[in-house]
Amino acid sequence: MTERIFVTGAAGFIGSNLVDSLLKNGCTVIGIDNFDPFYDRAIKEDNLKNALQHPEFHFLEGDVRNVELVSKSFSDFKPSVVVHLAAKAGVQPSLVNPQAYFDVNLMGTLNLLEVMRKNNIKRLIFASSSSVYGNSLKVPFSEKDNVDFPISPYAASKKAGEQLCFTYHHLYNFDIFCLRFFTVYGPRQRPDLAICKFSKAILKDEPIFLYGDGTSSRDYTHISDIIQGIKAAIKKVKGYDIFNLGESSRISLRDLVSIIEKYTLKKARIEYLPMKDGDVNQTFADIRKAQKKLSYKPEVDINTGIKNYLAGLNKEIDTNGLSSW
């Protein structure tokens, strides 16, 4: 893979891991990120430290809603494909400020598509989410399922983004793959995500909070498997299509905590709280389509993924101490 690739959200969890992987594969990469204050800027700056040392990486601090900035970068860089990861993340904050989520997640996507059209760039990988399935009772979730019932503004913004992508495929012959990510975790994961929060709380002997009775379940997907799927999509994007990228397995919140307990050798202090609006009861990916068309093959099971993640946290403790969190 030796393409010129434009990555939005390049300093984030998924974006920075993707950038590093693409550079290792010989690609030239330009990344853009606006360092949204959803979490500490220093974390994102640290995510980019390896890439910034690479001669084939070019970073632009800015917002995908800035049409002039994105247009100039396309004109100067002339990418062959765009991977659009930039978005306001998180279900719960989207209930508090839905306007901001639609402004970034939908209008930002529209601006990007328009600049692509004007610069004759017609290959796009769009990051969608398993949240579009809402509280569907049919499992595992298939790309053929009806997704007309999202239960949070975040989910609705991602569903709308998929539809906007189809419009540009239909009108302007764009080649677009929409990838529905299922609960991604691993190195550099956001501090608000469950595995990160639970692991650090248990290691610090602080309580963890489970919403509901602990039986809600997720299809946790290791970052290395997500990166594998994105890179396959870059190579094969043609026409318009939607793919689930998950592990195709489920684990409950209670069982997730048990795995973390096993590898930390510590007992969690659990406090139960009512289920929150907007949170789905379960996610579970049918990945047969991605397996067939993208040769997608998830390799990291949840036990291995958490064990490796905690090994990384222990190295951080040895270097900086618990107080660094």
Q: For 48-90, where are the alpha helices, taking DSSP H only?
A: 67-77
SS3 call for 5:
strand
Whether 154 is catalytic:
yes
Task: Round to whole Å and give the CA distance between 70 and 68.
Answer: 6
Distances, alpha carbon 268 to alpha carbons 88, 198, 309, 322, in Å: 30, 8, 17, 17
Pairing of strands 81-84, 217-218: unpaired
If one counts every other C-beta atom within 10 angstroms of the C-beta of residue 175, the result is: 16
3-state secondary structure of 48: coil
Under 8 Å between Cβ of 153 and 94: yes
Instruction: Select which of 154, 168, 263, 296 is catalytic.
Output: 154
Q: What interhelical angle do 108-118 and 153-172 show, nearest 10?
A: 20
CA 306 – CA 235 distance, rounded (Å): 29
- Joined together, the tokens standing for residue 149 give 């019932």
Positions marked active-site: 154
